[in-house]
Amino acid sequence: MHLYLHVPFCRRRCSYCDFSIAVRKTIPAREYVDAIGAELARAGPRDVPLAASAQSPTIYLGGGTPSLLPPDAVSHLLKAVLLDAVEVTLEANPEDVTPASAQAWRRAGINRISLGSQSFDDGVLRWMHRVHDAARIGEAVRTLRGAGLDNVSLDLIFALPEELGRDWGRDLELALALEPEHLSLYGLTVEERTPLARWVSRGAAAPPGDDRYADEYLLAHDRLGAAGYAFYEVSNAARPGRVSRHNSAYWTGQAYRGLGPAAHSFDGRRRFWNRRAWEDYRRALLAGEDPTESEEVLTAEQRRIEGVYLGLRTTSGLPLSEVPADRRAAWVAAGWGEESAGRIRLTATGWLLLDTLVHDLTGAPSIL
């Protein structure tokens, strides 16, 4: 079993964010811990068992901003789930990392930190509505190391509007100088009902074209590869032995259980997800109601298409038998794929065309 806990609270909404968050000056930690406990207590036949048989169970506290929770709340949550996990990740913002918080997280059982860096350019961070500045990122990494947290991932966003003047190569170099064990790189997308979408609609910002997106993505592959990192999935690269086990579970079709508002669960054939808004989720549990919003049972065809998509977005690739010979030959000739050990895997250039290639194989509409 792999367990995800969605912590929705943030100090402010980032300009690009469409996640399920609740902006709060004061974090209702006690109410949140109680709500998670109530959801755990409701586990029944329709639920994914929390004591399932995964050999390497993981826990991931995501958000939102889980590092806004007091450390004792984090400790209570980890004790409540009763899961002996090999990897326990906490998403944290740099401004929340202090010697006291880092030591408390480690005592609570956290052994991996995903740090929301996003950029090392102060002007870009202000544009993103981030609270921290660039200097705080390095301070946070050093503080985490000093507390004995030696598995640190950095998040960075690329393909920003050209008018920001952001130097993507510089951001990569500054990130690598901190020697993180893992990096997650996400291309900026314009989501509905976000500040960025409003800026774009009135002409105050413009997302970059496809060529610039591709150039920055491929530059990241070159720089990180030269520094000893390997991309194991479209957006994620790690040093040897530092692949995220939790995220890899999603990409290999393993069962997982989500707790908290908007959290999703999957048992191998069925998905269900909770009410999106924090207050709706909390009120449902206070009333003794099921917080689930909806569910879907995947058909055999949907599972097949998803298997193709997940295989091609990771370095696992697909067995040669699942890709017609003419497609494989075309992919290899174009530099989009490579064949080895009876499988075909996409290259970095191929990953840029992932959606198109999956559609070509399955006829399925876009699922990115």
Q: Are 54 and 228 in contact (CB under 8 A)?
A: no
| Arithmetic mean of pLDDT, 296-309 | 94
Q: Would you place residue 368 in the very low, low, confident or very high pLDDT band (cuts 50, 70, 90)?
A: very low
pTM: 0.93
Structural domains of the chain sorted by starting position, each given as residue range(s) with its CATH number in brackets? 2-250 (3.20.20.70), 301-362 (no CATH)
| DSSP single-letter state for residue 66 | G
Tokens for 259, please give them: 């707790």
What is the Cα 37 distance to its own chain's centre? 24
- Whole-angstrom CA distances from 307 to 296, 311, 314, 317, 337 are 17, 6, 11, 10, 17
Rounded Cα distance between 166 and 120, Å, is: 9
Asked if pLDDT for residue 367 goes beyond 90, the answer is no
Residues 6+ apart with CB under 8 A from 261: 6, 8, 20, 22, 274, 275, 276, 277, 278, 280, 281, 282, 291
- Whole-angstrom CA distances from 227 to 24, 240, 358 are 40, 12, 30
Q: Would you place residue 48 in the very low, low, confident or very high pLDDT band (cuts 50, 70, 90)?
A: low
| Arithmetic mean of pLDDT, 97-109 | 97
pLDDT computed for residue 47 by the predictor: 58
- What is the CB-side half-sphere exposure of residue 128 using CA atoms within 13 A? 24
| Arithmetic mean of pLDDT, 23-38 | 95
| Nearest partner of 160 among 109, 127, 115, 207, judged by Cα | 207
| Nearest partner of 248 among 315, 181, 303, judged by Cα | 315
Q: Would you place residue 292 in the very low, low, confident or very high pLDDT band (cuts 50, 70, 90)?
A: very high
State the chain's mean pLDDT as an integer. Answer: 93
Rounded Cα distance between 164 and 118, Å, is: 14
Asked if pLDDT for residue 51 goes beyond 60, the answer is no
Asked if pLDDT for residue 247 goes beyond 90, the answer is yes
Q: Would you place residue 56 in the very low, low, confident or very high pLDDT band (cuts 50, 70, 90)?
A: confident
pLDDT computed for residue 148 by the predictor: 97
| Arithmetic mean of pLDDT, 57-64 | 95
Q: What is the pLDDT of residues 199-240, one digit of tens each?
A: 888 888 887 778 889 999 999 999 999 999 999 999 999 999
Tokens for 342, please give them: 């009876």
pLDDT computed for residue 203 by the predictor: 84
Q: Would you place residue 53 in the very low, low, confident or very high pLDDT band (cuts 50, 70, 90)?
A: very low
Q: What is the pLDDT of residues 68-84, one digit of tens each?
A: 999 999 999 999 887 78
Q: What is the pLDDT of residues 303-323, one digit of tens each?
A: 999 999 999 999 999 999 999
| Arithmetic mean of pLDDT, 233-256 | 95
